[in-house]
Every structure is written in C-alpha cells, then in structure tokens.
Structure 1
Amino acid sequence: MGFERASVIESDPQIVDETRIRAIATELLAESTGGRSLLAKMQDQLRWDDKLLSWTMDNPGLRVQLFRLIDCLPALTTKAEVARHLQEYLSVEDVELPPALKGLLNFTAADSMAGKAAATTLSTAVETLARKYIAGSTLKETRKTIEKLRRQSMTFTMDVLGEAVITETEAQAYLDQYLTLTTQLTEASQTWSTVPQVDRADGVALSKVQVTVKLTAFYSQFDPLDVAGSQAKVSDRIRLLLRHAKDVGAAVHFDMEQYRYKAATLTTLKALLKEAEFCDRTDIGLTLQAYLRDSYSDLQGIIAWAKERGNPITVRLVKGAYWDQETIIARQNHWSTPVYNHKSSTDANFERMTRLLLENHQHLYAAIGSHNVRSQAHAIAIAETLEIPQRSIEFQVLYGMADNLATALAKRGHRVRVYCPYGDLIPGMAYLIRRLLENTANSSFLRQSVSNVAADELLAPPVWGEGDTDRDKVQPEESRLSFHPVADTDFAIAIARDQATKALETVQQQLGQPYWPLINGELVQTENTLPSVNPSVPTEIVGVVGQVTIDQAEDAIAAAKAAFATWKKTPASERAHILRRAADLLDQRRHELNAWMVFEAGKPLHQADAEVSEAADFCRYYAAEMERLEAEVIYDVAGECDRYLYRPKGIVLVISPWNFPLAIPTGMTVAALVTGNCALLKPAAATAVIAAKLTEILVEAGIPKGVCQYIPGPGSTVGSHLVKHPDVHMIVFTGSQDVGCQIYASAAILQPGQRHLKRVVAEMGGKNAIIVDESSDLDQAVQGVVYSAFGYSGQKCSACSRVVVLASVYEPFVARLVEATKSLNVGQAIDPSTKVGPVIDAAAQARIRQVIAQGKTEATLALELPAPDIGYFVGPTIFTDVDPQSSLAQEEIFGPVLSVLKAQNFDQALEIANGTNYALTGGLYSRTPSHIDQAKAEFEVGNLYINRSITGAIVSRQPFGGFKLSGVGSKAGGPDYLLQFLEPRTVTENIQRQGFAPIAGMD
C-alpha cells in the first residue's frame, strides 16, 4: 500500500480539534517509547526472534522466503526436516542473506549435528516469536497472561485459534470449546479482584470475561450464495453460545472475516440480535473493517438498525487484516477491489468512521482497535469534546503488537482491552503470519515507527489516496492478457443472488418447449424428438429436442459448403467482432444460462456461473488470437518476398459433451468459426437444450446462414455418418475414451471422393491424482481434494479420482477427508446449499453404483454418503487402502468416487500418480520446494496445479488438455489451439526484374 496523496480528510473543527489530536498523539507517542525511538528499544534485545523481524523489514525477498518457511514449520516433525527446509527456502540465488543467517546454513547434511543445531535455533526463534503474539497455548498459560493484563489495569477478549473449520465435527467442536472456555474463564474470574478502570463504567458492572468468535466457524458449509441456509445453521449454534454466556456472565463479540462473508455476517447478526430473547442484550459486539470501501455505509446501516433495536451493542472498529488476500482475490476474479488501494485512505476512513460511531454513542458502544497513535488520539479527542460516557468507548490492541501503546492508554485512565489469541501453534500459524505481515509492512504505523519517520509526518492527518474517495468509481484492474476476461458473479452481493433467483423462476416457467435443429439458417422440424430431463427431478422435462436424420445432415453439409466460399474470405477482424458480440451476449444472459444448466445438467449455480465466464472468455480470447494470426509473417530477403500465412480447413464437426454443456461447445465451435471454417454442432443428447441456447446467441451475434448449424441427433447413426463424411475436414470431440478412439479410427479412413486427411482433436478424460506430502497445509489439502473430487459430482474430466498421501500424514488426512465429505450437502442442483448434485442420467447412476459395488471387493469403504431417492443421485464415496493397480485406481469413473492411496515417500507418490494410461490433470499439496520442483519436472499431466484445486482451468491463464490416452491435440484456451483449424501456407515471390528490386533502402 502506498502513500500517494490526493485530498485531506474533511473534518469539522467543532468536533475534531487538530491541535488537540496532535497534542494527545504526541503524549501517547512519548509515553509509548519512554522518550527513545522504538528502533532503539528493539535493538536492545536482538535475540534470534527479533533478528528475524528486523531482517524481514529490510529485505523483501528474504521476507517472503522466511514467512513461507515459518508457515510450514509446524508441519515438520523432525529436526532433519526443519534443517532441510531451512536450506531449501533460504538458499535462493536472488535472496541476500545476513551473515548470521549464512552461518546458520553452514551445514552439508540435514541430519548432521550442525543441521540439527540450526533446526533447533530456528524452531526456538519461531516459537518465541509466536509467543509474542499468542497469549498462551493452554488455558493455564493464558490465565497468567490475563491476570498480568489486569494487574496493568487492562482487560481482554479471548479468541480461540484454528477457526478455519472444514467439517461439521470441527464446527461443533468450535462451539463446544467456547462453551467450555466461557465457563472456565468466568469461574476463574471469581477469584479476580475488581479493577474499576475496566470492570465498571458509569457505575455499572461490566463482564470480566469476553470472548471473540468467528461466525463462519459455526458452520463448515457457510456460503454467501446460501445466505438463508447458512444463517439458519449458524444461528442455532450462536443462540446456544449466547444463552450460555448470559448464564455464566460472559460477553461475546463477533469478529469480521473475509469480504465475501461480510454481508451474510451482518444479515445474520442483525436478525439474531433483534430476536426477543436477545434484543435487550448489551454485552454483545460486532466488528467493522475500515479498509473496506463500503464500511462507512455499513456503519450507517448498523446505526439505523441499533436505533430500531433500542439497546446498544459494541462496534469494534479495526482497519483490517486481509488486505493482500482481498486484493489478490479481486484481481483473480476481475472484480472491483473491495478494499482501499492506499493505507492512507484506510486511515482516513477509520477517522471518519470513528467520528460517526462516537457521534452515535447513545446507540452504539465504540471499541477503537488500532496500533496507530494518531488514530487512537483522534478518538480520544472526539470523546473528550463530546463528553462521551465511559461505557460508550474503549480502546483495543492486539496482544504483543502495541504493548507500550496499550500501557500508555491505560495510564491515561482509559478502558483498554487486549485481543488475546489462544491455542496451539499449528492452527495459530495463519494468525502469526498475518501479524508478521502487518508488523513488517512498509505502510504500517509500527513499521514507520521503527524506521525513524519524523513525528510530524507520523502524526499528520491521514489523506485519501488517488482513486479511493467515495466519488471515485471502482473498476476491476485492467487485464494483462490479450483480451478482457469476463468476471464470475460475486454471490456475496445481494443483487446478484436476487438476479439468479429470478432467472431460475423464469426459466422454470419455460421448461418443456420444443427445440428444432438449425440448418442453413432455418429451424427444421423433425419426425423424431428426444426429451431432455432434469437429473435432479427426472419427471421434469426441460425441453423436447428434434433429432436430425441423415438426409437432414446432408442438407447441413451442403449448406456449409456453400457458406464456406464466402465465410473463408470474410476478414478475421469481422469474424472476431462477431465473437466479441457473442461474448457480450453470453455475459448479458448469464443468469438465464446458469438456470438452464441447473435444470438440464444438474449443475449447482456456482459451478454453472464459472462456465458462462469460460464460454465468454473463449470467444474473446480466440478473437484476439485470430487477429494475431491473420497478420502475415514476413521473412523477406533482397529480391524476394517471403510470406507465411494461414487459410481455413473447411467444414468442422463439433461433437460436444454434456458435463460442460456451454463452455466446451462454445470453445470448440467459435474456434472453428473465427478461423474461417464452417461448424456443425452436434451436442450431447443430455444437454442439447443448452446447446440450442448457444446457437441462438451465435446467430444473434451475426453468424451468417450455413456457417454455424445446430444438428442434434443420434451418435450411432448421424454422428457416425458425419465423422466418415468426405466433405468434413476436421472433427473436434470431447468425451469418453472409447468413443474418441472410435472417431480417431473412423476419421483416418480415406473415403471415396475425399481429397484431404481429416484432423481429429479429441479430449478423452483422465484418472487424475493429487499428491499430499508431509509438509502440506492439511486444511488446504483436504478442502482442495474434496472440491476437486466431488464438485459437480465428480463429473469433470479434470476431477480428482485419486489422492496419493504420504504415509506420515495418511491417517490424519483420511480422518479429516472423511469428515469434510460427510459435511457436504447432497441435493437438488436448484438448492443454493447444495454442494453435490445429481449425476447426469440413470445409466450413469447405475454404472457408478456398479463401480462402488466392485470397489467394496477391492478396497476399504471409508465413506458412502446417502443420497436422495428421487433423481439420479449417488452419494460421495471414499475408498482407502486402494491398490494402485486395481480398477478403482486405473479406470475412469466420472462420478463422486475417490480412491485414497498411501505412498512411503515422495518418489513413490509420483510413481503411483503417473501409473495410469492418462495424463490430464494432477495436483500437489506441498510446502517443500524440492518436491514442488520435482513435480514440475516429473508429474506426467497436461495441467499441474500446486496448492490449489485441480478443476476450473481458466482460458489463456491455464490452457487445458492432456496427453497419453487423455487426448490428442493442442490445449484449449491456449496459443496453439487455433492453429489446428488452419492450413499454413508459404508464398514466395521473386521480385527482381533485370537486376532491379523494389526494396526500401536499396538505391
């Protein structure tokens, strides 16, 4: 975050006296440092833990590597492993090490005495560092911390580390832990002497015990798309906690988390705290983050709500701890950034929110959470000016982050509350990294304090950075790609959820209509039709699709041949313009198309939405790629003109699958069209209605008659006839290996009258594996495997069907994997809480059930979830103790069935992962640099994903496709893909005439 300055924050001198603010801030700063710089105080105690912080402030590259090393340290179980990772992370060429660190790395073998000594030094330093920010790993330790704070006239709020729950068992354990904690702390508080400064305010006794909780930790499937369902689940558990807290006399505060959860969190708490049972409670609080652009309006809304409620609650005002994460997520998804771009803007917003909050002190209590002396002084000045009662304001700091400031505030007589994290180091590591990032960020007040920034600059009024004022319209960051990607829907936004719901209602009223083939620009009725049904409710007919005959297919071929003569001469820029128009239409009709996929493909809404984006991105990317390829490549030499250029092939038969019913047919079809070919789209029968909608869009975008034709029909007759047709130049197929190989063989046979060899591009699935090693973040690994294996019921060619786990973490991984899978909601795709919907049809259901039955004879059944009786459902199923050579581990299943295999070491894990006939996608969860490098070099897959899920490839960023028996052809969405649809030509002209050549520069 930078400090670009645009305009000073507006202030009312009647409320905010800048002179008074500066005076208070100066006093606090002096009291905090004891008259010496914080840098001088820090240099007094340069132990190893202090050295780590000091080095990271001065060396950004080292900062990254050290924090990554610290992040994985709790997962390493031996000193040799710690020493090996120490060398791997810090022996990086572009990172300059301080002499002390170089000395620490001066060992050759990780298991040597020197290596073990280095490991001990590092581990001790990190543990000491963690204890600076974590109040205790046991309740006994934490009670000592609390009692010390109380002796300093400060109070606390207790936060249990490890709130990132991924199973319902963990969510229940989180609640139980807080129920126990509040009981134990309040029992302990009976022995504490009263400290009037923090235990009483305006003659009223305050709770001596306060706990802070994360709302999402009460429900493992908390989802912004499912606000109502998430609200119902968490509210039941919150009610239990609030009732218990009242019984024992504890206060409860609700923390704020990532932006995507904010709206659902506020909605839930507002509803709950207005219930009759809780409406009179004033010992409850919630948090707002000033770095969010909409936080000021959120505060205005809470004030209005509090006035209606009639009894105040506390609003803890903080600046926010997820700035980097929020910025990255927004950029990855092409969303407007929800946080301010500049730290100075956050500080400015914090001050105006402080003022608004304190001006409404009769409706809300204020908890000013900041380590910035200026921010706290600003609040004090307003409180003094408005003569705000003691009960209405307190000041908060994080444990270990601003101890001197907290002491200075307490000495001034203010109520100071210290946020005390409590728990084991492993779940607390994410918290520790956030604190280290905050402490060492150039823009933080603490970092500036130890950098000898002048007091006048340090305590100056904050200003709004460029582009951060309320008047500035926030736009997504410009893409660095050759096209402008389409953004997925952010379902955390209420209006987006409303639009999705309305589209589902509208489309449901349109079910059952007929859809006819499009031949030569005309809808053609057929004698035979085929119903398309909703796999969630098979009695519900989505549409009735006309099936072309061979004669009608011949008509389509004739129309394509006639249209090709003109279309191939159409400039690429015009063809590209049509594709961009199609992309716009896809995006405009996003919610409608999502709804059709929900009903016809059984695809849950969030999965469908990403597919619309992919379809639109294919259009825009291939448009840009064709414009690039249209330019002639020049290889001229003196006296000779040499050109390299492309021409289209002719007629392309597109045979698309049902599992990505919009994105894949769009990509294959528009690739054919933009390169100047004519396309015959023959979609999978199960999702032919969605293909009809795509055809409508392409026609509306301007594709001429005969250039793109929609020809649904039986694969065994019409499909086979077209594959062998002498006028078809190319077949693009996505589907099963059996059908793909049959197409490949049939296309290779030269037919009578055929004057070309057909090109076949075929993507034929995979048996994809994810490796989980001993250094992995198991929270991340379990979530990634569950999503990759069971998202869209495992019906993605990229889905994880095998997970290879190293023996040292096999048991804990399997235990959490099973519990996380148990927590998934299985149900109809239309239900926003659904994570696992139906499989596509009855045949698929029967086949997968047969695989499961066979698997029970080969391996150990660890889990088989029940599934709804109505619809084509198969519950997520997990097998353990799977033989790498068994059918479970070798054959593609295309359903929600996951095999877990054990490997003794990383080399064996790679051998198992590579031990199939497929090479499509693969994944690795690891924080060991050498393992990551080895996987990059040796994992035999077309798409390798490291420390993330293995599904959801993004156009241009992650071109998709594999090798071995996973398919043939270049990667979809990549720079080579369009070349398959083109014939390259070289044209050479001798331009010399009697020794004269018209070349610039020759006289």
Structure 2
Amino acid sequence: MPQHLPFPYREEAGVVAHRLAFLSHALDWAAAARTARPWVEAVRRHPPPFWAMESLLKEYPIASSEGLALMRLAEALLRVPDAETAIALTADQLGRADFDNAPDGALARLSGAAIAMSKKFLPDAQGEPGLLSRLGARTVVAATLRAVQLLGRQFVLGQDIGEAMGEAEAARRKQGNLRFSYDMLGEGARTAADASNYFESYRNAIESIAKSARREGATEQNDGISIKLSALHPRYEDAQRERVLAELVPTVWSLCEQAAHANINLTIDAEEVDRLELSLEVFEALAARIARQQPQWQGFGLALQAYQGRALELIGHVAGVARKYQLRFMCRLVKGAYWDAEIKRAQEMGLPHYPVFTHKHHTDISYLACAKALLDASDVIYPQFATHNAGTIAAILQLSARSGARFELQRLHGMGEGIYREVLKNPLVACRVYAPVGQHRDLLAYLVRRLLENGANSSFVHQLADESVGMDELLVSPLHLSPEPSLPLPAGLFGAGRPNSAGLDLTVETMRAPLLAAYATTAVPGVPLFDTAEATQAVQ
C-alpha cells in the first residue's frame, strides 16, 4: 500500500523551518507570555499538593540520587512478589540516597502519612503497645514502601472503572467544567488471551460510562474512553497488515458501535512511529464503517503526537478522511510519550534521521503549528489540546480567539493541577482529564513514561516547580530554529572515526520497495536434489 504520509526520517531543520513559516504572523508569543505569567505566579505562591508530579520533581529530580532511588523503587515494588524481598529492596535503595536532607522534607511528610496507614497492613499492628517501636527500621522501611505505593496511586484515578467514575464525580463537585477520558492501564497484548482481556475491560468501561452519559446533545460534553490498538491484537505490526485489518477492525468496530449508541467519545491512542501508517489504515476502515452505519456519531477520534516530524501532514490527512466520509472527528494533540524509544530505535537501526524532534523547543513549535492546523480544520475536527505548559495554553487561547473554533484543553490526572486551577477560573474554558484506571501493578510503564516525559530539566513541569528558573526563562519564546540536531545523527553515533552501520525501516514503503523489486527480479538457480546412491559411491 502507498504511504499516507511523507518519509518519516527527514532533516529536522527543514521540517522546523516549514512549521515556523506556517505559524508566521499567526501568533503573538509576547502576548501569550503575558497571559501565562499570572498563572505561573499564582502556582508558585500556592503550589499544588506535595504528591503532585510538579512537587515530586522539585523534591527529587530524576538526575539526583534520590530521584533515581524513587524510580528504582517504583520499578521494584510493582514487580516484587513477596513482602520480605520488597522490604529488602527498599532498604537497599534508601541507603543509596539522602532523603533526610531533602528540601522541605516532602518524603518525610509522605512517609509520616504512610506510617499511620501502614499500621493497618503490618502484621500484628493492632497488638500490644510499643510493638511498632520495637520493629524499628523494619517498620520505617515498610512504611516507606507504602509511601511509594501511595505515590503511585496519585496517578491512577481508580483501580476499576466504578471507583474511577466515583472519583471523577467528586472532582467535578469541586470544579464543574471537567470532563474525563478513561484509559484502562496495560501495555500491548502478547497473546490472544491478553487481547481478549483488554477488549472486555474496554467493553465494560464503555458500558459503565454510558450509564451517566447524555444521549442528546454534543458528544464532547460526555466523558469518554481511550483505547490502544496494540492492546487489542497480539500482532499489531506492519508486517501483519492483512491479518490486522481482517481481525482487529471488527473488534474495534464493536467498541465504536457501543460508544456511538452511548454518544461518548472513543479515542485511538497514539503508538510508535513504525505503527502509524497501519493505524491510519485501521482508522480509515473504521471511519468508512461509521459513515455507513453511525453517521450521526461525532465522538470518534485519535491522538496525534506533535514530536513526530510528520505531525502537521498527519492532521491534513485526518481532516481529509473526515471530509471524504462527511464525519467530524475528535482529535487529541499531545507532545508524545515515546521519545526515548524512538531515538534509540533510530540509532540501533542506523536510520538517516530521527523521526522525532531532538530539541524540546522544536517540539513546541510543531505543537503550536499543529494547534493552528486543528483550529483551521474545526469544520471537521473538534480539537483537544493536551498540555501542562502555561505558555502553550495561553498561545492556544490566543489562536482559538482568532479562529472562533470550539475546543477543549486536556491534562493528565495527577499533573498540571496548579496551572489548570488558574486557567479554569475562566468558565468558558473546558478541560478533560486523561485518567488511568487499573491495578497498581499495571502502573509501572505508564508512571515511568510520565517521569521521563516530565523529569528532564528542560520540561515545563520541572521548571515550574523550580523557583530558581526566572519567569522570562520559563516563558521564553520557542519560535526559533536550531540548525543542528541536539544529538549526533544515527550514522555518527560512534564518532567520525567509526560510522554506524546504515539500516532500513521495512515499515516504510520507499525503503521496502527496492528490496521487493530486487527480490522479484532475482533468479535463484536450481540445486540438484541429493542423490543417496551417488553420494555412497563417492565415499567408497
């Protein structure tokens, strides 16, 4: 099949120059920064709860020994099957870091709360007085174990959809203009049984969400659900295209039909670069079926990753599909959560360029260009802007005021609470919370992605909590081009004296076609069959 999008491994500077030209005269960044400044000042005067991501990264940056210890604990405690080993691991990791002298003592406060709660979980905790004190260090370690587990809970809305919806209602009572998109935690299916379990999880969640959804009116007023295609098929890969289209499309269609009857949003979550073309094949097959059977439904959509070099062209393609089938989609614009994996894959495969931007401000430029494109296509797309960056939010408000398009903002549960507390004082701005749902043992991959995404020193979430970063630096304009990538290209990974081996991405049609053409024209001479009698004579 021909590619829907341009070649993914293009020179970064050329792509960014195009995005800057697209934004020319469309955005006044200085005005956006002035809008964002009071929000940032208010958050710094009244910071979010100490368990929020912003506060966690302020206390324990990932680059510090304490931050690394927490990352190791988060990884270990969600995998270790028995309490004794978990406690031993916790003691080992705490011994490598100096939590006692951490500023503001956030872990001390967290551990204090955890110690009180841990009395319910430790053996014989309700026994004779003084037992906890006699347990000594073991109790402290066990309490810290509980503290890290409690920390993980801040990023999961509920362990099942019922609990999550209850928490969502409680949040709405405090802040009325909130909507939710529930994400059933879990990574890609490895077996058909995995895929079946994920399907049932999605089906049950849609059934629960439907009970409180309004059947009349705009779909975006209701809560919705996000699904991962790789969770619904164990071989969700380009080489299995025919099988995926034959087996996966009917599966996803049944979820779409269920969501359409309930008038709720169903978003296909983003995957890695090598699956994007396949995702578009599945997306269009579903769009064609929606046009035939549920044309009134306006809740189907997908997530778009601004850090990809093809993001702007992707929006053009999706808008084209909407116009082709006379549908309206709901599209969530995100910056992207697989940056490290995409960089590593390009390096290992020796690809000509990276498929994602290597400079953070280049991703910011792409995000703003994509935001403009989505607002320009508001006749067929309902834009959803997922960001925790105050400057980006202010820029979106400015762009939307000029276009007059309806839209919503989005944030992750457990993140961005301070900024959105200020932004949502404007009752005309709506916000949807992306809310993970699942057991804490399923939290690991999600939590690590969030920490990697927001833990870098250049991250707005990280810098917001760091008062040593001045306001001008925090809200500096991203609208400038860096001519060279921030990393060596894959070919130069080992330096000038040792070129990396060049490779091919066989999911890209233009890279695959020459190999297939050569294969089709290559004649392999026949080899005579083995003759046992002749071989016997030859050795006698």
Shorter-chain TM band:
0.7 to 0.9
Q: Structure 2 unaligned runs (5+)?
A: 1-12, 112-122, 124-133
When you count strand as a share of all residues, which structure comes out higher? 1
CA distance in 1, matches of 2:242, 2:285: 11
CA distance in 2, matches of 1:317, 1:98: 40
* Structure 1 residue 249 corresponds to structure 2 residue 263: yes
Give the match for residue 569 of structure 1. none
Q: Return the TM-score normalized by structure 2.
A: 0.81
CA distance in 2, matches of 1:499, 1:87: 56
Aligned pair partner of 2:40 in 10, 29, 52: 29
Q: 1:377 is matched by which residue type in structure 2?
A: A
CA distance in 2, matches of 1:402, 1:52: 12
* Structure 1 residue 16 corresponds to structure 2 residue 40: no
Give the match for residue 382 of structure 1. 399
Contact 2:20–2:365 (CA under 8 A) maintained in structure 1: yes
Give the match for residue 408 of structure 2. 394
CA distance in 1, matches of 2:537, 2:95: 60
Deviation digits for residues 185-222 of structure 1 (CA, Å, limit 9, x no counterpart): 221447xxx9xxxx96xxx4645230000111110111
Contact 1:142–1:422 (CA under 8 A) maintained in structure 2: yes
* Structure 1 residue 75 corresponds to structure 2 residue 79: yes
Q: 1:170 is matched by which residue type in structure 2?
A: D
Aligned pair partner of 2:272 in 250, 253, 258: 258
Aligned pair partner of 2:506 in 471, 476, 491: 491
CA distance in 2, matches of 1:37, 1:332: 45
Is the partner of 2:307 in helix, strand or coil?
Answer: coil
Contact 2:284–2:321 (CA under 8 A) maintained in structure 1: yes
CA distance in 1, matches of 2:194, 2:25: 51
Aligned pair partner of 2:251 in 232, 237, 241: 237
Give the match for residue 329 of structure 2. 313
Aligned pair partner of 2:144 in 112, 122, 142: 122
Q: 1:179 is matched by which residue type in structure 2?
A: R
Shift of 1:97: 5.9
Q: Return the TM-score normalized by structure 1.
A: 0.45
CA distance in 1, matches of 2:471, 2:55: 25
Shift of 1:30: 4.3
* Identity fraction in percent: 23
Shift of 1:433: 1.6
Q: 2:89 is matched by which residue type in structure 1?
A: H
Shift of 1:375: 0.9
Contact 1:215–1:254 (CA under 8 A) maintained in structure 2: yes
* Structure 1 residue 433 corresponds to structure 2 residue 448: yes
Give the match for residue 386 of structure 2. 369
Shift of 1:88: 3.8
CA distance in 1, matches of 2:419, 2:55: 22
Q: 1:70 is matched by which residue type in structure 2?
A: A
Deviation digits for residues 119-174 of structure 1 (CA, Å, limit 9, x no counterpart): 32222212221122111113332122211233312101000001321111110111
Give the match for residue 134 of structure 1. 156
Aligned pair partner of 2:237 in 206, 212, 223: 223
Shift of 1:360: 1.7
Question: Is the deviation greater in 457-466 or in 53-62?
Answer: 53-62
Shift of 1:259: 1.9
CA distance in 2, matches of 1:215, 1:468: 35
Is the partner of 1:368 in helix, strand or coil?
Answer: strand
CA distance in 2, matches of 1:506, 1:493: 21
- Superposed counterparts of 1:12-411, under 5 Å: 15-30=26-41, 33=43, 36=45, 38=47, 45=50, 53-57=57-61, 59-91=63-95, 98-99=100-101, 113-151=135-173, 152=175, 153-189=177-213, 204=218, 206=220, 208-275=222-289, 276-277=292-293, 281-335=297-351, 336-388=353-405, 390=406, 393-411=407-425
CA distance in 2, matches of 1:298, 1:474: 26
Residues 364 and 717 of structure 1: is their aligned pair in 2 closer, same or farther, counting only changes over 3 Å?
A: farther
Contact 2:58–2:466 (CA under 8 A) maintained in structure 1: no
Contact 2:91–2:141 (CA under 8 A) maintained in structure 1: no
CA distance in 2, matches of 1:243, 1:268: 15
- Superposed counterparts of 1:443-522, under 5 Å: 443-452=458-467, 453-464=469-480, 466-467=482-483, 475-480=489-494, 483-507=498-522, 510-511=523-524, 513-514=525-526
Contact 2:158–2:437 (CA under 8 A) maintained in structure 1: yes
CA distance in 1, matches of 2:219, 2:373: 26
Deviation digits for residues 238-286 of structure 1 (CA, Å, limit 9, x no counterpart): 1111111122332211110222222211222023212323555321111
CA distance in 2, matches of 1:318, 1:139: 24
CA distance in 1, matches of 2:253, 2:146: 41
Is the partner of 2:414 in helix, strand or coil?
Answer: coil
When you count helix as a share of all residues, which structure comes out higher? 2
RMSD, aligned α-carbons: 3.6
Give the match for residue 435 of structure 2. 420
The higher radius of gyration belongs to: 1
Contact 1:209–1:250 (CA under 8 A) maintained in structure 2: yes
Q: Structure 1 unaligned runs (5+)?
A: 105-110, 516-528, 532-545, 548-712, 722-1003
Contact 1:80–1:115 (CA under 8 A) maintained in structure 2: no
Residues 148 and 356 of structure 1: is their aligned pair in 2 closer, same or farther, counting only changes over 3 Å?
A: same
Deviation digits for residues 73-126 of structure 1 (CA, Å, limit 9, x no counterpart): 12223332112112444555xx6665579999xxxxxx9934532332222212
Residues 159 and 29 of structure 1: is their aligned pair in 2 closer, same or farther, counting only changes over 3 Å?
A: same
Residues 715 and 70 of structure 1: is their aligned pair in 2 closer, same or farther, counting only changes over 3 Å?
A: farther
Number of residues paired by the alignment? Answer: 490
